[in-house]
């Protein structure tokens, strides 16, 4: 009798955790969709939590790490985002979203050379880059961000050349620091 009670308790425990219940646990793909939906709804905390669940189930999931880093960056957890994106790069260095995110965060952190390299990598991987989950982040956004990094390094000629590519309607851009800074700031939405 004791063995039947033990077996019954074992099966009850398994069933309570969703084992043997195919509808009980969401798949990793479903979790990724759910996480990006939260991200697009600007619920970055929920997105980060859901991407963390993906990574807990599959630590090698590049999409999970990329999404978690974007959610962290949007919450201004810049150091965490960089660490997570670098983990993603260790798994796959051909994901334009990872390089694009690093470009933007490195600029905020005033790591200008890293910003430029990451932006160049993103555009090299995808010259027509558009971040699928926030469509206002494009190759031209990255060019404008790299221009601001070049400006921060005092490379006004390189900054102006990038602005010419990012904002051809207002080309050629001046290399005069005051005019160039105004053009970069206006382009990036900091009027």
Each domain of the chain, given as residue ranges in start order, spans 30-187
Q: If one looks up domain 30-187 in CATH, what number appears?
A: 1.25.40.10
- Local confidence pLDDT in tens for the 191 residues of the chain: 455 444 444 444 433 344 433 445 789 999 999 999 999 999 999 999 999 999 999 999 999 999 999 999 999 999 999 999 999 999 999 999 999 999 999 999 999 999 999 999 999 999 999 999 999 999 999 999 999 999 999 999 999 999 999 999 999 999 999 999 999 999 998 87
Q: With contact defined as beta carbons under 8 Å apart, do 120 and 102 qualify?
A: no
Q: Which residue has the tokens 């970069």?
A: 184
């Amino acid at each position: 009798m004791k063995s039947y009670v033990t077996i019954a308790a074992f099966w009850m425990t398994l069933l309570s955790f969703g084992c043997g219940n195919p509808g009980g646990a969401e798949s990793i793909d479903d979790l990724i969709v759910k996480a990006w939906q939260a991200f697009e709804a600007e619920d970055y905390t929920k997105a980060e939590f859901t991407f963390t669940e993906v990574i807990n189930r599959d630590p090698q999931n590049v999409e999970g790490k990329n999404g978690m880093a974007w959610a962290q960056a949007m919450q201004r957890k810049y150091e965490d985002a960089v660490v997570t994106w670098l983990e993603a790069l260790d798994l796959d260095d051909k994901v334009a979203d990872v390089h694009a995110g690093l470009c933007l965060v490195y600029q905020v952190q005033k790591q200008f050379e890293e910003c430029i390299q990451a932006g160049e990598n993103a555009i090299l991987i995808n010259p027509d880059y558009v971040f699928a989950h926030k469509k206002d982040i494009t190759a031209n956004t990255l060019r404008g961000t790299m221009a601001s990094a070049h400006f921060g390094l005092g490379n006004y000629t390189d900054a102006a050349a990038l602005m010419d590519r990012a904002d051809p309607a207002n080309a050629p851009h001046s290399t005069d620091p005051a005019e160039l800074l105004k053009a970069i700031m206006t382009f990036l939405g900091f009027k």
